[in-house]
Structures are given as structure tokens and as C-alpha cells.
Amino acid sequence: MISDLVFQPAHQLAQMIRDRQVSAIEVLEAHLAQIAKHNSKLNAICILDEDNARTRAKQADQALENGEIWGALHGVPITIKDIFETAGLRTTAGYIPLKDYIPQQDATAVSRLRSAGAVIIGKTNLAELAGDFQSTNSLFPRVNNPWNLDYTAGGSSGGSAAAVAAGLSALDIGNDIAGSVRQPAHFCGVYGLKPTDRRISTAGMIPEVPGMPYCLRQMITVGCFGRSLTDLKLCFSLIAGADPRRPDVPPIPLDQASGKSLSELKIAWTEEWAEVPVAAEIRVALQTTVQTLAQAGAQVEHWLPQGFDLASAWTLYGRVAAYVNRYAQPVDRYNLRRSLTLLWRTATQGDRQLRAIGNFSRFLPELLNPSLKGYFEALMERDRFTAQLDQALEPWDVWLTPVAATPAFSHRPAWSAVEIDGRAYPHAVANGAYTIPFNLSGHPAVVIPIGQTQNRLPIGLQIIGKRWREMELLAIAETLDRAIGAFRQPTGY
């Protein structure tokens, strides 16, 4: 059966191909059949590279015949978020001026996956220029959630999460500057990793439109999606590390996991920020998870860092984001329209008290009249915030929080308010309140599925670790996952 192959984790597919249990071309054809059957309703894959993928898969099989193994992903079909440049394959970022853009060179992360033997099936759909918590753009149909087509898959990497959840792809990479990996993973019920700031090279990654200066030097990371934590660990280990194209990526070797058992772990948890309560079903799922871990022997304590102030963190994030985005894209009618829509709706929609947190219009001074002094002052404040969180997290192995204030919600116009238990939340607050602080601080975070709502929509858990300790974070996440989580295959796929 097709599902026997397309829902195997990527690392297992790689082993099966190496062991000659199945050929790379058979695995590819199974995925292409799954795409043909389901992608027209999901719109998860926006650019399919069928012919080149078949050629690559056949070459992978021939290489094995010759005793060659290209790498850890030899013959495994994967997809790439359409924000990463792919040599010879259209890269649009969902942005009309780039609709015919064909790069000459792979993004560094793409190149490293190719070098590991991956077969790239195509590109996954996204929010225009990776700039929304839903995956809609002017070039391709919106991405639908495999659990309920009337609901969003999240954004900006909605196509990535939906493709992995529905068995269209074994693995995918995305980017995350406000939750673009973590929120879609939560909405679609898959595993997602946002690494430490600057752990992975962003060379060849839009939203800096080709020809514009390299502006996004803070808070944005390359992450990955999979159906198991082993897959995240494999993908991360392949794409992390120094890159001559990005000298600001430090040559820090991957850490070694400590191997702590569940009973040895000290786990902090926060069920919700006081300023942004989560949906009742998410709160219950997190409380149930914590009870399960405590009963299994973990040391779990309700905790919030002393002096943690969401409003201040959000304001600082907004200032830094305004500066780093200012020159990344040309001022054209598409960007102007998107920006004005965002500013208007975050300033006018949703509960008045919550709007005070999420109103992006107050960052207009930085956008319209940026100053070098203001930028450096914001970076200094960010350094202080990161150092304070480093110190606060020192006694803990990991910190558990919600991923977003709501599970997946029904499709709606960009940046429109989201209803949570009878209260209207501004769009950015509902989706970014639990992810943005860790883009600001640069700490790594992994999302694992922990349950479902009564409407059978996935619920994820965010696990935050220490900076530069991704392998330890992923190892701890695996320990927790064995007790509380598991990937569930969407019905009908």
C-alpha cells in the first residue's frame, strides 16, 4: 500500500532504501501518487519537479548498485519551502515579481540536503514573502489543513507542515522569524524545530528579495518539519554549521546530549501568559501532559521567569523586526498593500486590551524614519533580554509552553481577528504571543503533538531549551514524546 511508504519517517525510508527493501524510485512513485491524489485539495505543494525527481531517484538506485551511498538521506523524497532558492527550479516566495525567478544556486540548507542524497520533489506553498500566520499568496491557491480543509494549516510554512502531515513529503525545511515553523507544526500535528539564532545559514533564503541587502541578521532561523523527532535530529545535523556564504554563522560544533532519564529531568512549565490566555482545550491538554510526566517520575514545576513581561518583549521584538525588515524588500504596491493591511487590522481588530500588546502600527517611526542609533539601542536591549532568559533557564533542562493561543482556525482574510472562547484576539497576538519571545531571545524550541481538540484538530507543545544545545533539546523531547506524544495520521490519507 502507498500509505505503508509515504507515512514512514524519513530516517526509516533511508534505511529501507540502503537495505534494498525498496528502491528509491518506488518510494518516489508512492509519494507522487499521494501528491496526485491529495494535493489538489491541500495546495501544499506549489511547484512539482516530477521529471527531475524521477531522474534523481533512478540515479540513487544506480549508485547503490555501484556500491555508492550519497549520504544519510540517500533516495529519500523531500520538499523545500518556496522561500529557499533551488538551482534550476522556480523559487517564487509566493510573490508576483518573483513568479518566474529561477535561481542559479541552491540555498545552503538545500545544498546540504542534496549532498546527503535527498530527492527534491518540489516546493511547498507559503504566505507571501513568508509574512503571515496563514499560507496565502497572490500566485497559488491557499493551503488547507489536512485535518479539516476549511481550516488553515498555519503560516508562513503551512505548505511544509501540511505536506509532511499528509504523507506528500518525508521531510521539509522552513524558516521562522515569529513562529513560522512552530505554529504550522502545531496546527497540522507534526514535529517542528526552530534552532538557536544563527545556528543554520540563511544564505539563499528569501524574504530578502534577490538584489536587496542582507538585512535579516537577527531572530530569523532555518527550521525543519518531520513525522518523528529522529527525523528532526537528522535534518538539523545535516544543515547546521558554519558557511562561507554567511560568515556570521559561528563554527560551533553540535552539542552532545546528556542522556538524562525522565526522572532526572527538571522541567518548568507555563500553561499561559497572564496577558494572553489560551483556548480551554489547549490549557487542558498541557495540564494533562504535565500530570502524565509527573506520574512518570519527572520533576515538573509551574514556573515563569522573574520579571518576564510579554508586552515589553513584544515591543522590543517589533522594534528590531521593523529595523531588520526595512530594506529587505522593495517598496512596491504588493508590499505596501500587505503592510497597510497588517497595520490597520492589528490596530483595529480584536479585544482592545489585547490590541495594546499586538498593535504593530506603533513601530511606524522605526519603519518610516529608521536611525542607526535606534537600531543599536534595540539590539542592546535584545542582548539584555537574551542574557536574562539564559540565566533564568539555567536551573531547568527545558521549559514547556503552549505554541499558540488557539488550535487551527477557519480560513479568514489576512490578519483578521481570531475568536478564542468567545473573545476576539488580534491575529498576531493569537498566533505569535507564545513564539515571538523566543525569536527575540534566540533560544531553540521544538514542537511535538500532544493531543487533539474535540473537533479533531491537533494540539502541539512547545519545548524550549538552552541556546546552542539543540541535540540535548531534541533528546529530551524524545524522552517526553515517548511518554506523552505521537504523530497521528490524518483521516483519509
Q: Kindly name the residue from 111, 123, 135, 156 that is annotated as catalytic.
A: 156
Residue 201 CB coordination number (10 Å): 24
130 closest CA partner among 376, 335, 378, 366: 335
Is 40 designated active site?
no
**What cell numbers appear for 384 in the block?**
539584555
CA distance 173 to 171: 7
* 252-260 contacts, C-beta under 8 A, 24 or more apart: 252/199, 252/468, 254/470, 254/471, 255/468, 255/469, 255/470, 255/471, 255/472, 256/471, 256/472, 257/471, 257/472, 257/474, 257/475, 257/476, 258/472, 258/475, 259/475, 260/397, 260/476, 260/479
Alpha helices in 407-469 (DSSP H): 427-432, 436-441
Is 157 designated active site?
no
CA distance 154 to 435: 13
DSSP 135-201: ---SSSPPPEETTEEEEE--SSSHHHHHHHHTTS-S-EEEEESSSTTHHHHHHHT-EEEE--TTSB-
Cβ atoms 393, 399 nearer than 8 A: yes
- Give the type of residue at 471: M
DSSP 217-250: -SS-EEEEEESSHHHHHHHHHHH-B-BTTBTTS-
CA distance 1 to 135: 31
Q: Kindly name the residue from 81, 123, 194, 233 that is annotated as catalytic.
A: 81
CA distance 74 to 337: 43
Is 233 designated active site?
no
Q: Report the Cα–Cα distance between both ends of the chain, in Å, rounded.
A: 12
Q: Kindly name the residue from 135, 157, 180, 441 that is annotated as catalytic.
A: 180
Q: Catalytic residue numbers?
A: 81, 156, 180
